[in-house]
Amino acid sequence: MSKIVIDARELRTSTGRYVERLLYYLQRIDTENDYIVLLKPKDIDGWFPSNHRFTPIASPYKEFTFEEQLGFNKQIDQLKPDLVHFAMTQQPVLYRGKTITTVHDLTTLRFDNPAKNKLVFRFKQWVYARVIKQVTAKSEIIITPTRFVKDDLVQFTGCEPSKIVVTLESADEIEVRTEPVLGLDGKKFLMYVGRPTPHKNLDLLIEAFILLKAQHPDLVLVLAGKKDSNYMQIEAKLQKKGIDNVVFTDFVSEGQLRWLFENCAAYVFPSLSEGFGLPGLEAMIHGAPVVSSNATCLPEVYGDAAHYFDPLSVESMADAINEVLTNKNLRQDLIKKGSERAAKYSWQHMAEQTLETYKKVLS
C-alpha cells in the first residue's frame, strides 16, 4: 500500500475534465492505495469521494505564483507521499520526491491571449517554458493525451521518448434531458463550443461563415460558451461590421449543449492547436457530423470520422463545411463513423493505464 497525492486544483476549471474523470475511475479500480486529493478551498465541499481511501485536502496555492513554489512545496513535503501526480504542468519545481506529470499540450507557449496584459502574459509564457523543461527532467514519467503531444514535448525539451506514456482521453454522453436553446429551434445552424482564445481560430471561422451565407442565407453560426472578455470583443466587432446570424449563447446547461449537438447541421472545430480535441469527440457521441481543422493532434484523434480543412485558409474551411451541408451521403457517413470512433475511447482505460504507471514508478 502506498500514499499517492493527486494535484486536482484544476478540477473545476475548463481544463479539469481530465483529473475529474481520472479520480472518478481510480476510485472504482484501486482498492489498495491511499490517495490524498489536493483541491482549491472553494472546491473542497463540492467533491465527495466514493472510496474511503480517497481524502480531499484544501490547497490554497494559486498556479504560477511564489506561494505555489514555496507553500505548496511545503504542504506536499508534510504529507510525506510515496508519489505525487501533478495533473497539470504547473507545480513546485523544487519538490524532489517521486512525481508523475501530465502535460496536456504546449499551446500556451505559442499563442497570446488578448484578454490578458501582454507583458504579464509574455512573462507567464517564459516561466511556463522553464517549468516545462524542469518538470520534464525531474518527473519519473510524463503522461500526454496523444502521440502528437508526446512528439512535441520530446522536440521542445529533448527528453527521452521512453519517459513519456500516452493515455488517450475520452468523452462522455450527456444523459440529462435535452433543453432547446431559445431562438434556435427549427433553424439550420453550425456550432462551436469552447473558449474564444486566439488559437481557437474563431475569426477565420466567422470569415468562412460569411462566405457560406452567399449559398445558405438562412444559416446561423452558434458560438457556445461563457461570454468572457474575448467573446465580448468578437461580438462587438461583428456588431460594428453589421454581421448578423451569429449567436453568442453565453453559458449553456448540459441539456442545452446536448440539444445543440443533436440538432446542429455540423460541429465545426477550427482550432490551430489542441492536445486532444475533446469537443469534437463529444459532438460525435451525440450524432453531429464533425468538420475539423487538420492541425496538431486532431487527425490522430478523429481519424476518418471528421471532414478536414486547412485552418489557415478561409476558403478551405468554407468549402469543407459546404460539402457537409450539401452532400447527404457524406453527412451520414461522418455521423456513422463518428459514433464508431468515439466508442473506441474510454476514460476507464485511461485511468487503468495511469494506475499501471503509478505501480511502475512505485516498484
Kindly report, residue by residue over 75-108, the tens digit of the pLDDT. 999 999 999 999 999 999 889 999 999 999 999 8
Is residue 175 included in any domain, yes or no?
Answer: no
- On whether residue 200 sits in a domain, the answer given is yes
Same domain for 334 and 252, yes or no, is yes
Residue 118 has pLDDT above 90, yes or no: no
Residue 196 · residue 270 · CB < 8 Å: no
Q: Is the pLDDT of residue 125 over 90?
A: no
- The confidence score (pLDDT) of residue 262 equals 98
Specify the number of domains making up the chain: 2
- Looking at the predicted structure, is the pLDDT value of residue 230 above 90? no
* Per-residue pLDDT at 314: 98
Q: Answer whether residue 115 shows pLDDT above 70.
A: no
Domain match, 157 and 9 both: yes
pLDDT in the model for residue 124: 82
Neighbours of 16 (CB within 10 A): 16
Does the pLDDT of residue 117 top 80, yes or no?
Answer: no
Mark whether 19 and 165 lie in a shared domain: yes
Distances (CA, A) of 281 to 118, 196, 346: 33, 19, 12
Residue 64 pLDDT:
80
Whether 282 shows a pLDDT value over 70: the answer reads yes
Give the domain extent around 48.
Answer: 3-170+346-362
Average pLDDT over residues 172-181: 96
What is the reported pTM?
Answer: 0.94
Is 90 within a domain? yes
Cβ 307 vs Cβ 298: under 8 Å? no
Q: Compute the mean pLDDT over every residue in the chain, rounded to the nearest whole number.
A: 95
Say if residues 101 and 135 touch (Cβ distance below 8 Å): yes
pLDDT tens, position by position, 292-351:
999 999 999 999 999 999 999 999 999 999 999 999 999 999 999 999 999 999 999 999
Query: Which of 32, 39, 22 minimizes the C-alpha distance to 53?
Result: 32
Task: Determine the pLDDT at residue 122.
Answer: 83
Looking at residue 26, what is its pLDDT?
98
